[in-house]
Amino acid sequence: MNKKTEEKNWKLSYSQMIWRRFTKSRLNLACLIFVLFLFLLAVFAPFIANDKPFVIRIDGKFYFPLLRNLQPSDYCIFLAAALTVWYLLRRTPNGGKLNIKNQISKLQCKIQKGMPDSRYSNFAFLYVILLFAFLFLIFVLIFVFVPRRLDAVDYKEMVASGKATDAIFAPVPYGYARTELASCRQPPSRRHWLGTDDVGADVLCRLIHGSRISLSVGFVAVGISVCLGVLVGAILGYFGGWIDFVGMRFVEIMMAVPVFFLIITITAFFPRSFLNIMIIIGVTGWTSNARFIRAEFFKLRRQDFVQAAVSLGLPLRSILFRHILPNAVTPVLVNATFGISSAIFIEAALSFLGFGVAPPTPSWGQILSLGVSTSGRFLWWLTLFPGLAIFFTVMAYNVIGEGLRDATDPRLSKAV
Amino acid sequence: MIPTLLGITIVVFAISRLAPGEPLRGTSDEGRGTSIVYPRLDRGPSSIVWGLDKPIHIQYAQWLWRVVRLDFGDSIRHHRKVSELIKERLPITLMLNAIAFLIIYAVSLPVGILAAVKHGRFFDRASSAVFLMLWSLPIMWVGQMLIGYFAGPTFKNWFPPAGLSSNYAEQLSFLPWLADRLWHLVLPVLCLTYTGFAYLTKQVRASVLNNLHSCYVRTARAKGLSEPVVIFKHVFRNSIIPLITITATLLPAMLGGSVIIERIFSIPGMGLLAFEAITSRDYNVIMAVATIAGVLNLAGLLLADIAYAIVDPRITMDD
Amino acid sequence: MKQDKVLLSVKRLSVNFFAEDAVLEAVQDVSFSIRKGQTFALVGESGCGKTTTALSIMQLLPAGQSKIVSGEIIFENQDLLKLSEKQMRRIRGNRITLISQEPMTSLNPVHKAGSQIAEAIRLHQNKNAKQAWADMVEMLRRVGIAEPEQTACAYPHQLSGGMQQRVMIAMAASCKPALLIADEPTTALDATIQVQILSLLDRLQKEIGMSILLVTHDLGVVYKRADVVAVMYASRIVEKAPKGQLFAEPFHPYTQGLMQSLPRLGVSVKRLQTILGAVPDPLHFPAGCKFHPRCPIGRKDRRCQTVEPELKEVQPGRSVACWYAPGCVTNNQIRNTKIN
């Protein structure tokens, strides 16, 4: 037991320790898996719920309508998911052990080659900027070159009438934008597993496609708020003095303005676009991140390693973001997880109130708002299922946030 | 304090002026007049009455001057003075929030303290799991489900689905009127409170846990005090200090939740007023509501600061 | 030496702590007794278990993480470990009291200093608020505070370190206890204040006739104030002796090392002496005698490396836990070996 405890505590890097503590609880793991499942659902949504078949045989020839009709946004999402997976895989260290000897020899090589740290960080900065520019270019090219097809062919009718033979449909063979007023407001049945909404669209299909909206809003909005908050908090916390004083007044103003009200107002006034909503939620939510980072920077800027970095003549961005920030980032990480769940909730609330994404883009909140019809009838399937979807998603993120908070609690590391 | 107040008014004014009745392309600068802003509202001669043809900083100054005298202008939609509307509706929202507040505190304080004292045991884990679930419930879903299942013809019809009082309420004497009012308030207050439970209980628990392991608690026990006395006289007094700022931040969150609740339950409060104003582009009302909400937030923060100085003898009033 | 009555007798006390998935034996098999009016010093490095021993006498250990696994604590003819919580509460603050290390954090910051003292008086002596307040003011005067009424109405953060510690002492001595446990009472104070606090404790001891269990790592304090000294190392008592004999001729190699490492006034040395090695990790205690990796004898001796020595009385009033202590062993050559 003695040897094992030693290895447990001393050969792990910080993130590995946190991961170990986080995964000790099965609930945390379950929620993480659920979030992963949601991810897969969102990324592969067009393959799971689509009214176009994968392959259909018309007059002896095979056609692939589903694959041909993928929208540029689908491609963007595939690319983004692939990049994320690749990035995560790259970061997983091999064997899970911190190889200190290897790192020391690498450092020795660097010193021998005479590469001062500041020059290295210059290159790294450029490299990162170029990488982001390149990615951005690819996304723009996707939008330019992938044609937005509007295929209005009703393949199901073709199969029914016999014009086509042998078609393989997706598991949920309905389109999220396809309206069938004949079958509107149907409770769950064998044809429509979760019922239909007020224009006849299948609820399950809209839920699946709606997960894309929810998850994207969560991540992009939180990404924006974290970036903004970290930037502002870092500058305020590091410099202090009158910069901090003026900056904090500004942050206080942002905090005192009623946020939800502001969001509603802005979304009501600006054109209803998905991007707008993400940006608004991000721009109104950065204040708490800024406060956390500022508090941490206040604590850390007096430490010796900061003085050492300054005395080496490192550029400011290197000190702030390569040296201090990794030490200060933990509360922001926890806050970001809660921010994702709160962003999902705000987006659902906005769609519920009618200010969110415009139909036919599916959104969980929008389906929820149809729960009580104009005649006062309570359509329970339009209330229960999107509500459950929102509930489970938000709860999963909340549990992960709680688990992260417990795992990074500094008190636990004092034990023994 | 004053700069923050001014800042709020500038932000509010800029937001409402940024968006005329048509979609806006590109950015606009707050405080500096740009040609996009006015006057393209198709309101005819009334645009001059509203003063919409003057440059933007003049408009701001005029508006600010009127606000200081509590004159928020007239509502385009209701054709009444905005201050009257607010006078009618603000007390309702405040009452709703106040009741919710009291209930949240009445539940969270004991549960939080108990959970901290029985740290790691069943009560602690069960209560934090239950409250986490409650926290994750989307408020509009709960509202709609409550209406659908408990206030509608389809399932149970125990509570009224909308409004603050029944139609015949004016004819009742005081106690039945009060009972009727409370009966109407049950579902909305329920919706407003449950999210607060989770948040506040967690904060109370964390604060008490922080203090439970302090040295002075050991001293108190070493004096021979019984456990309840140690907790209530020593730990509790120290634990509520961080809760004061949290109270101040709870207020704006509840005001935001009011918008949804009042929309679902059709309660004529500030939230519903704001909602209707936004959908109908009623600028004066929007600005008034936003300003008042901002002022209330600030007042809450100020009260929190004062309360801090009273409760914690280590802090002196530096106001 | 006048044979006073034995006030407190600790017999084979063992305390375990529970960490995430490990069991820490913080105190193993500790036995000692304190007589009436005596000052008993428990000396050792940080982490050797002396504070845990002191706290377990009052049963103030954190409930979920620790457990007193065995032993007896006989105080005034009662086994404290067998008492109910209610009975124990009557003894705490009343017959046995505690002074902690950090006076700043040991006083409740939101209550006035005086009311914290009066609380103890009201609880144990059945007096009403006015009488308790008057007693408290008198007690503050006795501990040497110049303006007792003002100090009583002040909050702890408004008092200096020395005054805070005096308030703590007043709180502890207010009910005229039989035993006062002082857990490193002077560690957090300036040197000049240390002297004052120690003389205060001395004076109170003579006035009230109480015994003091002094837990400290400062040998200077021990030399000045203690009557009997017990040296703890790695959760066990390794030597117990009257102060004069311990300082004149320490028997255990650890105590010898401690004494030799003390700098002496008037003696110039190029280098201070140390004990090789470091205190063992409580999760991996060495087998046999816990001090053997650092002991010049134990490093080479098989018995020290495999069998743990018991605390044995080698002379009247002196006990050592070492196979090679004088009186323990027949090996005359090793007996007088000096360390380093």
The number of C-alpha atoms within 13 Å of C211 and in the hemisphere containing its C-beta is 24
Q: List the one residue out of A196, A200, A170, A198 whose CA is nearest residue A182.
A: A200
pLDDT category, C167, cuts 50, 70, 90? very high
Q: What is the pLDDT of residue A312?
A: 85
The whole-angstrom separation of Cα C134 and Cα C137 is 5
**Is residue A5 within 8 angstroms of chain C, CB to CB?**
yes
Q: How close is the nearest chain B Cα to the Cα of C35, in Å?
A: 22
pLDDT band of residue A2 (cuts 50, 70, 90) is very low
Chains with ≥3 CB–CB distances under 8 Å to A: B, C
Q: What is the per-residue pLDDT for B33?
A: 36
* Helical ranges in B213-317 per DSSP H: 215-222, 227-229, 236-265, 270-279, 283-311
pLDDT of the residue at B317: 54
Mean pLDDT within C241-261: 89
**Which of B9, B144, B191, B276 best probes binding to A when mutated, by most A CB atoms within 10 angstroms?**
B144
Nearest to B255 among A258, A353, A377 (CB): A258
Domain boundaries along the sequence of chain A: 2-50+176-415
User: Could you give phi then psi for residue C221, rounded to 5 degrees?
Assistant: -60, -40
> Do C201 and C298 reside in the same domain of the chain?
no
Annotate A320-357 with b (16+ C-beta within 10 A) or e (fewer). Answer: bebbbbeebbbbbebbbbbbbbbbbbbbbbbbbbbbbb
C237 in a structural domain: no
Whether residue B234 and residue C171 make contact (CB cut-off 8 A), yes or no, is: no
Buried b / exposed e along A258-270 (16+ C-beta atoms within 10 A): bbbbbbbbbbbbb
Quick one: C14 and C144 in the same domain? yes
Q: How far is C305 from chain A (nearest CA, A)?
A: 18
| C241, part of any domain | no
Q: Do B7 and A264 touch (CB under 8 A)?
A: no
Average pLDDT taken over every residue of chain C = 86
| Bigger pLDDT: A133 vs B77 | A133
Query: Which residues of chain B make contact with C111, given a CB cutoff of 8 A?
Result: 234, 237
Sheet order of strands, C39-43 included: C96-99, C179-183, C211-216, C39-43, C228-233, C236-242, C318-320, C312-315
Residue A259 has pLDDT above 60, yes or no: yes
The reported pLDDT for the residue numbered A8 is: 53
* pLDDT at residue C334 is higher than 80: no
Residue whose structure tokens are 């049950």: B186
A256 in reach of chain C (CB within 8 A):
no
Q: Give residue C65's pLDDT.
A: 83
C100 CB neighbours in chain B (<8 A) are 215, 218-219
State the pLDDT confidence band at A134, using cuts at 50, 70 and 90: confident
Would the CA dihedral through C111, C115, C117, C123 be positive or negative?
A: negative
In chain A, the percentage of residues whose pLDDT exceeds 70 is: 85
Tokens of C167: 């308030």
Q: How far apart are CA B229 and CA C122, in angstroms?
A: 13
Who has greater pLDDT, A5 or A17? A17
Q: Which pLDDT value is given to residue C230?
A: 94
Cα C33 from Cα C9, distance rounded (Å) = 4
User: pLDDT tens, C52-78?
Assistant: 999 999 988 887 788 889 999 999 888
Selecting from 3.40.50.720, 3.30.70.260, 2.60.120.10, 1.10.3720.10, what CATH number does the domain A2-50+176-415 have?
1.10.3720.10
Q: Which residues does chain A have within 8 Å of residue B293's beta carbon, measured at their own beta carbons? A: 258, 261
C236 within some domain: no
- Same domain for C307 and C213, yes or no, is no
**Which residues on C lie below 8 Å from A416 (Cβ)?**
19-20, 22, 24, 282-283
Residue B73: count of CB within 10 angstroms of its CB: 18
- Are C181 and C321 part of one and the same domain? no
Q: Residue B200: enclosing H or E segment and its boundaries? A: helix B174-212
Helix (H, G, I), strand (E, B) or coil at C272: coil
Assess contact for A243 and A309: CB atoms under 8 A. Answer: no
Report which of C310, C330, C329 is spatially closest to residue C319, judged by C-alpha positions. C310
Whether residues C60 and B237 touch (CB distance < 8 A) is answered with no
Does the distance separating the beta carbons of B224 and C89 come in below 8 Å? Answer: yes
Instruction: Give me the pLDDT at residue A296, please.
Output: 84
Q: Which residue in the set B213, B216, B311 is minimally distant from C108, CB to CB?
A: B216
Q: Which of A26-35, A355-364, B197-206 has the highest mean pLDDT?
A: A26-35
pLDDT value at position C177? 92
Residue C94's CB is within 10 A of a number of other CB atoms, namely 19
Give the count of domains, chain C. 2
Contact C109 B314 (CB under 8 A): yes
Quick one: tokens of B114? 């108990």
* Residue range of the domain that includes C165: 6-231
CATH of the domain at C30: 3.40.50.300
Closest CA to C167 of C152, C182, C153: C152
Least confident segment among A198-212, A319-333, B52-66, C155-169:
B52-66
Mean pLDDT of A318-323: 80
Kind of pairing between the strands at C211-216 and C179-183: parallel
Measured in degrees and rounded to the nearest 5, phi and psi for residue A165 equal -120, 160
Same domain (yes/no): C147, C202: yes
Around Cβ C224, how many Cβ atoms within 10 Å? 13
Residues C94 and C181 grouped into a single domain? yes
Which stretches of chain B score pLDDT less than 50?
A: 21-47, 319
Of residues C139 and A325, more confidence is placed in: C139
Q: pLDDT digits over B9-67, tens only? A: 777 777 767 655 432 222 333 333 333 344 444 444 444 555 555 677 777 787 778 87
- Output the pLDDT for position A340: 92
pTM above 0.90, yes or no: no
Which of A25-29, A107-111, A174-178 has the lowest average pLDDT? A107-111
Q: A184-236 pLDDT, tens per residue?
A: 778 888 778 888 888 888 888 889 989 988 888 888 899 999 999 998 988 88
Residue A256 has pLDDT above 80, yes or no: no
What pLDDT was estimated at residue C282? 82
Q: What is the pLDDT of residue B46?
A: 45
pLDDT of residue C32: 92
Q: Is A275 on the interface with B (CB under 8 A)?
A: no
**β-strands C179-183, C96-99: how paired?**
parallel
Whether B290 has its CB under 8 Å from any CB of chain A: the answer is yes
- C-alpha to C-alpha distance for A334 and A337, rounded to whole angstroms: 5
Tokens of C119: 């609380």
C76-128 pLDDT, tens digit per residue, is: 888 998 889 889 998 888 899 999 888 888 999 888 999 999 988 988 888 88
- Of the three residues C182, C200, C231, the one that is the final residue of a domain is C231
**Chosen from A2, A406, A411, A416 to mutate, greatest number of chain C CBs within 10 A:** A416
Question: Residue A218 in 3-state DSSP?
Answer: helix
Count other Cβ atoms within 10 Å, centred on residue B55: 11
The confidence score (pLDDT) of residue C54 equals: 92
Are C160 and C204 found together in one domain? yes
Mean pLDDT (whole number) for C8-13: 92
CB pairs A-B closer than 8 Å: 133
> Are residue C160 and residue C198 in the same domain, yes or no?
yes
DSSP state of A49: B
Confidence of residue C3 (pLDDT cuts 50, 70, 90): low
Q: What is the pLDDT of residue B72?
A: 76
Are residue C210 and residue C262 in the same domain, yes or no? no
DSSP-based three-state secondary structure for A10: helix
